[in-house]
Structure 1
């Protein structure tokens, strides 16, 4: 092969090789740096072979080699810039979490998909096939005074949840964000025959600006962080403060102060629940949170103005003071265990406790309100058997001091429950568990009923 022909061969081969490397830095089957190193060695070898054949490079061949070396240098520079860009994108994704940016607003999402398979029986009455008592424990709705039911089984995915959050950059001196949260619990129009379609419902929707919160969120009187690790929607429902509602809240460090939606629930003389809708003064909640390596502790107090007017019962208008105190927390017991608890007592707290087991007050023949005193609490112990396996055992109790002459004997006097579960997480986002629960309710006239439930759940959090 002559020097000119050989030079053309070199020129074509080297330029083709350079293009191959410079293309989508490109083949994913090999490391880019290794390809560049190998091509540089090939150039060196070809130059040595050319020197050995012709003794020296002609001008055109020398130009080809120089162009090839320049192309290699540019390719390396391109690769370095691509790596830097990839690092920037990766860092941006880490900062944004699961979401995306629109201008100076970061939009993120979270939630979970959950399937519940529940079989339960009641000792003193049948729960209807469309009742929400078949989805999760509602202590005040446990049947009493009837015949025992058989075991009833239902599957549902209604607890599946979507959470959308925003955070907008408004300058270093302020923070602005929002959150909207949806699920499909306690909504109408679903069926178990054909489609199992259920409407979404609003759980939370609020705006945060610096230390302020405006919108619907967990009541400041409730400590969500103390709730047990259960498969049931709440778990220790009889002893739990559980309310979401609109509010305005201010937070400074561990201190929180809120004005929240007022709503008086009243028991009429026949035991029926009446919602007067005559409230004028918001419920006022003050709370302080303590935390450390040992865990967390929360103390919260509430003041309420309970109110009815003449158009509700036709016997005049009246208002009464409601108040309460709740102490709750989560204490670490070594590296693998924790204990969670809550204790609450007060007058006129009815709708805040156990999904409104009893009402806030009863009304007498003159239209005067008599607030109902209640006390309640729960304890839950969680043990981590391994990185993938954990269990919780928990129990709760509720007691009401009903003015029986005003409420009749049909209202709930006390309720309690216990549960135990085993939850397996084969990988971090997935929980597969089984739980047994026993719950009981007793009315003021001595009737009682219990509910037994076995629940198997699979949950994928994202």
Structure 2
């Protein structure tokens, strides 16, 4: 079948027109799609960039946190260990305990609780109830009654007056200067109200100042142990001191300078005076005066080593009663010598003109008085030796001997003054737990007058002491 030529010619023309019409639309559609894709790609790139930036910021924060944690761990490792706070408990102190002190000061607190219980038997009368001699060994309180004197039955005393506490604030400045404030107290100070200070009801006793001083670098000012006393040489006694007779024992206000093994101090002066009582059978009155206008001058040199320590001290004093004056001086040698790992020997030897109030709790006077009121320094000497043996970390023992003697002029002060005293002590101290000491000590003491009358003391002393 044949077709018409004109119809054949219209088909290619229609196709060409169709292509001409559709092609621009297709090109336009392609361009719009590309733009949409480009927009989406740009958005994705922006989001990716934000994610990368956020990740970098998180990584920086993680690194900073890790550095801070490392710093805290380092500080904790260098700091002293402290007890962990129990679960559910919060610290009771959120600010410094010394708000009025220097920033960064270190505050410390300590002390001990001690019960003393003793049975005493004296040959020539009883020691007065409530006196210091009922609380610990004080040679001057031993009664000396002469012929026919009788101490009666033994007597018992319990007390906790030597319990003690102390407070300390230490500070180091940016320049390296060291400052320290220290206060120490016990309860051996009598009562503060009508029912206090006795054994009737409350047994209440007042707080007593023992030490109170400030130190900065090499200087010290305040009340503390005399520079003439070697506290490190004192034995391990159940009694308050034990070797009282021959011990230098004074706490008083002073200004002290220390440099290495050397120390020198100006200390509070005071004079004890034995009244004029020529050839009397009983001692005359003893008085104390604060008339001195020159402080006591003391100096000390210490040597230390694995073998122990040795200390040499000297003292110069002025004595004054009214317008009458005299002067004197004294020396003391003391220390501790280690004998192996379990034993040591402790000792002290003292001699001086006017050493009276510095030794044996003032057993002798500093000066004697004549008929005109003039004063003369009294010579005295004394010392102790003590052996300490450690059986085990929980058990130790101490054996002690102590003595003191004075060269009284009986033509001035009579026959009734103390010429000498001596004592022996032996103890066992058991520590079932750290810082807890349970001790038992037997002691014998004797005081002799210039006329050879004597009085004896026998005592069994026990104690329980917990240090904190």
What is the TM-score normalised by the length of structure 1? Answer: 0.78
Q: Is the 8 A contact 1:249 1:257 kept in 2?
A: yes
How many angstroms apart in 1 are the aligned matches of 2:65 and 2:98? 27
Match of 2:88 in 1: none
Work out which of the residue numbers 433, 437, 442 in structure 1 matches 2:439.
433
Distance 1:91 1:125, change over 3 A: farther
Work out which of the residue numbers 131, 142, 149 in structure 1 matches 2:152.
149
Match of 1:442 in 2: 448
How many angstroms apart in 2 are the aligned matches of 1:151 and 1:127? 11
Shift of 1:402: 0.7
Q: Is the 8 A contact 1:229 1:392 kept in 2?
A: yes
| CA RMSD between the two structures | 2.5
Q: Which deviations, in whole Å up to 9, do the C-alpha atoms of 1:152-201 show, x marking residues without a partner?
A: 11111111110111112322331111110000114344121221110010
Q: Is the 8 A contact 1:100 1:108 kept in 2?
A: no
Q: Is the 8 A contact 1:439 1:451 kept in 2?
A: yes
Distance 1:368 1:192, change over 3 A: same
Match of 1:23 in 2: none
Q: Is the 8 A contact 1:420 1:437 kept in 2?
A: yes
How many angstroms apart in 1 are the aligned matches of 2:70 and 2:185? 39
Match of 1:340 in 2: 346
Work out which of the residue numbers 197, 205, 223 in structure 2 matches 1:198.
205
Q: Is the 8 A contact 2:245 2:403 kept in 1?
A: yes
Distance 1:190 1:80, change over 3 A: farther
Work out which of the residue numbers 300, 315, 322 in structure 1 matches 2:313.
300
Q: Is the 8 A contact 2:318 2:325 kept in 1?
A: yes
Q: Which deviations, in whole Å up to 9, do the C-alpha atoms of 1:313-355 show, x marking residues without a partner?
A: xxxx221111000000001000011000000001011000000
Confirm or deny that 1:214 pairs with 2:221. Answer: yes
Match of 2:177 in 1: 174
How many angstroms apart in 2 are the aligned matches of 1:451 and 1:90? 57
How many angstroms apart in 2 are the aligned matches of 1:229 and 1:329? 14
How many angstroms apart in 2 are the aligned matches of 1:82 and 1:458? 47
Distance 1:278 1:339, change over 3 A: same
Work out which of the residue numbers 230, 241, 245 in structure 2 matches 1:238.
245
Match of 1:353 in 2: 359
Match of 1:48 in 2: none
How many angstroms apart in 1 are the aligned matches of 2:119 and 2:76? 48
Distance 1:121 1:87, change over 3 A: farther
How many angstroms apart in 2 are the aligned matches of 1:80 and 1:129? 69
How many angstroms apart in 2 are the aligned matches of 1:407 and 1:215? 36
Shift of 1:84: 7.1
Confirm or deny that 1:110 pairs with 2:110. Answer: yes
Secondary structure at the counterpart of residue 289 of structure 2: coil
Q: How does 1:451-462 map to 2 (within 5 A)?
A: 451-462=457-468
Q: Which deviations, in whole Å up to 9, do the C-alpha atoms of 1:192-226 show, x marking residues without a partner?
A: 12211100100000110110000001000000000
Shift of 1:445: 2.0
Q: Is the 8 A contact 1:296 1:329 kept in 2?
A: yes
Q: Is the 8 A contact 2:127 2:141 kept in 1?
A: no
How many angstroms apart in 2 are the aligned matches of 1:138 and 1:319? 29
How many angstroms apart in 2 are the aligned matches of 1:137 and 1:390? 21
Distance 1:91 1:358, change over 3 A: same
How many angstroms apart in 1 are the aligned matches of 2:393 and 2:365? 43
Q: Is the 8 A contact 1:362 1:372 kept in 2?
A: yes
Distance 1:156 1:170, change over 3 A: same
Secondary structure at the counterpart of residue 431 of structure 1: strand
Work out which of the residue numbers 161, 164, 188 in structure 2 matches 1:161.
164
How many angstroms apart in 2 are the aligned matches of 1:94 and 1:106? 15
Secondary structure at the counterpart of residue 432 of structure 2: coil
What is the TM-score normalised by the length of structure 2? Answer: 0.77
Shift of 1:117: 0.9
How many angstroms apart in 1 are the aligned matches of 2:328 and 2:189? 28
Q: Rg: which structure is higher?
A: 2
Segments of 5+ residues of structure 2 without an aligned counterpart are 1-57, 83-95, 278-283
Segments of 5+ residues of structure 1 without an aligned counterpart are 1-69, 310-316
Distance 1:165 1:404, change over 3 A: same
Match of 1:365 in 2: 371
Q: Is the 8 A contact 2:121 2:457 kept in 1?
A: yes
Q: Is the 8 A contact 2:339 2:345 kept in 1?
A: yes
Work out which of the residue numbers 298, 304, 310 in structure 2 matches 1:291.
304
Q: Is the 8 A contact 1:100 1:106 kept in 2?
A: no
How many angstroms apart in 1 are the aligned matches of 2:432 and 2:68? 39
Match of 1:10 in 2: none
Distance 1:409 1:179, change over 3 A: same
Which stretch of structure 1 is more off in the superposition, 187-196 or 251-260? 187-196
Q: Which deviations, in whole Å up to 9, do the C-alpha atoms of 1:60-97 show, x marking residues without a partner?
A: xxxxxxxxxx9xxx9xx9999789757745754459xx
Match of 1:52 in 2: none
Q: Which deviations, in whole Å up to 9, do the C-alpha atoms of 1:380-438 show, x marking residues without a partner?
A: 00000011100000000100001112112221100000000000111221111100010
Match of 2:266 in 1: 259
How many angstroms apart in 2 are the aligned matches of 1:133 and 1:122? 11
